[in-house]
Amino acid sequence: MGMRSAIVVGATGLTGASLVKQLCENEEYISVTVIARRKPDFEHPKLEVKIRAFNRLEESDIEFVHELYCCLGTTIKKAGSKEAFEKVDFEYPLNIASLAKKRGIPHMLVISAMGANENSPFYYNRVKGKLERDLIELNLQRLSIIRPSLLVGNRDDFRFGEKVGEAVLKIAKPFLVGPLKRSRAIEASQVAKAMIVIALHGKKQPVTIYPSQELALMDFPEIKEENSQDHLFNWDKRKSGEAIEDKEKLNRDVVINRDKYKIEETVVDKDVHFKQRKKDDE
């Protein structure tokens, strides 16, 4: 059982919801805090929920944890405007990162996008690129940027564009090889798992960007059974009662100085010898 703690922001979305469940089920974590605008459906003894408005978050809302996972994200259609979209996908994550830095949180993991680039001709990718740039400039202790391709899974809300893209990528998957493999759709649950793998076993450097094709392959390392210590002892000889060579005996030449130690119990080991005091010392 580990002793790690985590905060998840954006826990009611597709990836965030899966991440919270997996964190609570992971033995390395004893505490998972969700900061959300509404209560998630999932409940667990390890889970604490803080209902907060993201535009009014304060430093006191962010407690010290080992990892802060940011899964905030929306669409322009759902947000209602570009300005509202940027609040969710740019302003809130940046403010949360700033608060995390003040709290001394050693590792922040944030979901960006496959095509994130501040100079992109596409508005969505430009916003994600600006976020990555400003997060890097914050000089956090450790920043892991997660760049998934199209996320698939069972959403609460229907997104027509994503469903079309999911269907197209499913048909095209056999042809997406080599450099094009990065464009394959990825399960949100796999992204969530990959984030935990990165937190526990990822690169220990200030900034790391993880592309979708790497996320798709990530899994927890196999736990090897502890090596047996039988090779340190000759148990067969001891079980069979065979003679044991002198060099295998333990404590054969133990010498106890009566002047230094007070002996209160009777010693029956024939191999233990006491150093005799000289008469002129008595």
Choosing from 29, 69, 128, 210, the catalytic residue is 128
Q: State which of 215, 246, 267 marks the end of a domain.
A: 215
Q: Is residue 43 part of a domain?
A: yes
Give the pLDDT of residue 101: 97
Average pLDDT over residues 112-141: 97
Q: Could you give the strand order of the β-sheet that contains 207-211, starting from the edge strand earlier in sequence?
A: 47-51, 29-36, 4-9, 67-70, 108-111, 143-147, 207-211
Verify whether residue 29 is a known catalytic residue: no
Q: State which of 215, 245, 271 marks the end of a domain.
A: 215
Q: Is residue 84 part of a domain?
A: yes
User: Domain check: are 246 and 111 in the same one?
Assistant: no
Q: Is residue 149 part of a domain?
A: yes
Query: CATH code at 23?
Result: 3.40.50.720
Give the pLDDT of residue 1: 67
Q: Are 195 and 16 in contact (CB under 8 A)?
A: no
Question: Does residue 182 surpass a pLDDT of 90?
Answer: no
Residue 206: partners with Cβ closer than 8 Å, 6 or more residues away: 139, 140, 141, 142, 143
Give the pLDDT of residue 176: 45
User: Domain check: are 106 and 173 in the same one?
Assistant: yes
User: Domain check: are 204 and 242 in the same one?
Assistant: no
Q: Are 97 and 110 in contact (CB under 8 A)?
A: yes
Choosing from 46, 87, 101, 124, the catalytic residue is 124
Tell me how far the alpha carbon of residue 146 is from its chain's centroid: 13
Q: Is the pTM of this model over 0.75?
A: no
Q: Is residue 225 part of a domain?
A: no
Domain that holds residue 272: 233-281
The chain-wide mean pLDDT, for the chain, equals 81
b/e sequence 181-216, b meaning 16+ C-beta within 10 Å:
ebbbbbbbbbbbbbbbbbbbebeeeeeeebebbebb
Q: State which of 182, 215, 248 marks the end of a domain.
A: 215
Q: Is residue 115 part of a domain?
A: yes
β-bridge pairing 255-257 and 29-36 = unpaired
User: Domain check: are 206 and 251 in the same one?
Assistant: no
User: Domain check: are 122 and 251 in the same one?
Assistant: no
DSSP annotation string for 54-102:
GGG--GGGS---SEEEE-----HHHHSSHHHHHIIIIIHHHHHHHHHHH
Residue 229: partners with Cβ closer than 8 Å, 6 or more residues away: none
User: Domain check: are 95 and 207 in the same one?
Assistant: yes
Give the pLDDT of residue 154: 72
User: Domain check: are 176 and 136 in the same one?
Assistant: yes
Question: Does residue 67 surpass a pLDDT of 80?
Answer: yes
User: Domain check: are 116 and 250 in the same one?
Assistant: no
User: Domain check: are 262 and 127 in the same one?
Assistant: no
Euclidean distance between CA atoms 200 and 186, whole angstroms: 21
Verify whether residue 124 is a known catalytic residue: yes
User: Domain check: are 193 and 272 in the same one?
Assistant: no
DSSP annotation string for 146-168:
EE-SSEES--SS--HHHHHHHHH
**Residue 20: both structure tokens together:** 């919270």
Question: For the segment 248-268, what is each residue's pLDDT rounded down to a tens digit?
Answer: 444 445 454 555 555 444 444
Euclidean distance between CA atoms 275 and 252, whole angstroms: 14
Residue 164: pLDDT band by 50, 70, 90 thresholds? very low
Q: Is residue 226 part of a domain?
A: no
Euclidean distance between CA atoms 142 and 147, whole angstroms: 16
User: Domain check: are 246 and 162 in the same one?
Assistant: no
Give the total number of structural domains in the chain. 2
User: Domain check: are 124 and 251 in the same one?
Assistant: no
Q: Containing H/E element for 1?
A: none
Euclidean distance between CA atoms 171 and 102, whole angstroms: 47
